[in-house]
């Protein structure tokens, strides 16, 4: 039996899945804590421990393993960068994992794996199976993105393909952790929107609470915050639509649960793109939830 192996290597947990390549049946699924605070070597040994225990269960050896990781591998230096689990940055993780596991590994960042999984096994596959170009967005604590063309992730020359969260949005914006000013992430991530609402109202509420207040129609500041989201997201995503013109855009993350993104949004986008007729880009809610990382990781090694 041909099997596919994928690992979602996150800052708090490491999850591994083995799938039957013929019918996508999950044969084993296990998770262990990352214990990232114990350092990089410990993370690698946790991965090895997880893979050993899966091997023991399924009695099959992997031929390759795909990984969803917090940051990306720089194609030139072959070391990790942009990881929020900072001990991984600067480390040759692909080489270290291959040494520890004894098989080839493929790495892609979590937003790319999200986009890949939803494109090939998730909502896009269900709704628009012949989609060629898919953009996956994660709108949560941060803003991430991934581009999938014909079932392949576009990693890019610097390994930053799809990193639209750090596109420039406004001159007088706040300083981003990436070192630039006015990134998309600081305009319409969950925390940025909560901050926007706080400036208007003086209150600290979660995005979910703000959305509920808007729906109740009782709080003009909540409505202004939602309008700010739709407007800024529309302007920002228009750059993606004008360049890639994707068949579908899948919106994950906490902010992605806001229904207005799917209802009010296509109308807003019309104002910003080079197209005068109806906007036909599909805006879709993801289907795979937490599993997108691990299924995207599996997709990375399907060709082995
Ligand atoms: Zn930034």
Grouping H, G, I as helix, E, B as strand and the rest as coil, residue 12 is coil
Residues in contact with 77: Cβ distance below 8 Å, sequence separation at least 6, in sequence order: none
Largest CA distance in the chain: 60
CA of 163 from ligand 1 middle (Å) equals: 9
pLDDT of res. 263 = 87
170: nearest Cα among 235, 215, 107: 235
What is the Å distance from ligand 1's center to 31 Cα?
31
Report which DSSP code applies to 88: G
Model confidence at 160, pLDDT cuts 50, 70, 90, reads very high
Task: Please report, in angstroms and rounded to a whole number, the separation of the first and last CA atoms in the chain.
Answer: 14
CA of 168 to the centre of ligand 1 (A): 8
Tell me the three state secondary structure of residue 166.
helix
Token pair belonging to 84: 């929020």
Q: What share of the chain is helix, strand, coil (3-state, %, to 5)?
A: 40, 20, 35
Q: Is 29 helix (H, G, I), strand (E, B) or coil?
A: strand
Q: By three-state DSSP, how is residue 277 classified?
A: coil
Calpha distance 18→231 (Å, rounded): 42
Ligand 1 centre to CA of 164 (Å) is: 9
pTM of the predicted structure, to 2 decimals: 0.93
Reported as a single tens digit per residue, the pLDDT across 91-133 is 999 999 999 999 999 999 999 999 999 999 999 999 999 999 9
CA 102 – ligand 1 centroid, Å: 36
DSSP annotation of 188 reads H
Q: How far is the CA of 75 from the centre of ligand 1 (A)?
A: 20
CA of 144 from ligand 1 middle (Å) equals 10
| Residue 145: pLDDT over 90 | yes
Task: Give distance in angstroms: CA of 243 to centre of ligand 1.
Answer: 20
CA distance 24 to 302: 11
Ligand 1 centroid – CA 86 distance (Å) = 16
Q: What is the pLDDT of residues 211-247, one digit of tens each?
A: 999 999 999 999 999 999 999 999 999 999 999 999 9
Give just the sign of the alpha carbon dihedral 274, 276, 280, 285. positive
182 CA to middle of ligand 1, Å?
Answer: 7
């Amino acid at each position: 039996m041909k099997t596919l192996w994928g690992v979602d290597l996150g800052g708090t947990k490491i999850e591994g899945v083995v799938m039957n390549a013929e019918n996508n049946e999950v044969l084993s699924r296990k998770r262990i804590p990352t214990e990232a605070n114990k350092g990089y070597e410990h993370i690698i040994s946790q991965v090895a421990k997880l893979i050993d225990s899966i091997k023991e269960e399924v009695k099959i050896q992997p031929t390759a393993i795909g990984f969803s990781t917090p940051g990306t591998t720089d194609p030139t230096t072959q070391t990790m960068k942009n990881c929020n689990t900072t001990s991984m940055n600067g480390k040759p993780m692909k080489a270290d994992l291959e040494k520890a596991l004894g098989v080839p590994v493929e790495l892609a960042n979590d937003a790319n794996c999200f986009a890949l999984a939803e494109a090939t096994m998730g909502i896009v596959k269900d709704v628009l199976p012949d989609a060629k170009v898919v953009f996956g967005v994660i709108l949560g604590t941060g803003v991430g993105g991934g581009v999938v063309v014909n079932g392949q992730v576009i990693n890019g020359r610097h390994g930053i393909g799809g990193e639209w969260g750090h596109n420039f949005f406004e001159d007088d914006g706040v300083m981003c952790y990436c070192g630039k000013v006015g990134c998309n992430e600081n305009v319409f991530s969950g925390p940025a929107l909560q901050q926007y609402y706080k400036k208007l109202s003086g209150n600290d509420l979660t995005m979910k609470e703000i959305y509920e207040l808007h729906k109740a129609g009782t709080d003009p500041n909540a409505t202004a915050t939602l309008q700010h989201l739709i407007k800024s997201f529309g302007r920002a995503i228009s750059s993606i639509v004008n360049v890639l013109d994707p068949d579908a855009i899948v919106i994950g993350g906490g902010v992605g649960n806001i229904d207005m993104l799917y209802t009010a949004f296509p109308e807003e986008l019309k104002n910003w793109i080079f197209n005068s007729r109806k906007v036909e880009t599909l805006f879709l809610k993801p289907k795979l939830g937490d599993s997108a990382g691990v299924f995207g990781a599996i997709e990375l090694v399907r060709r082995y």
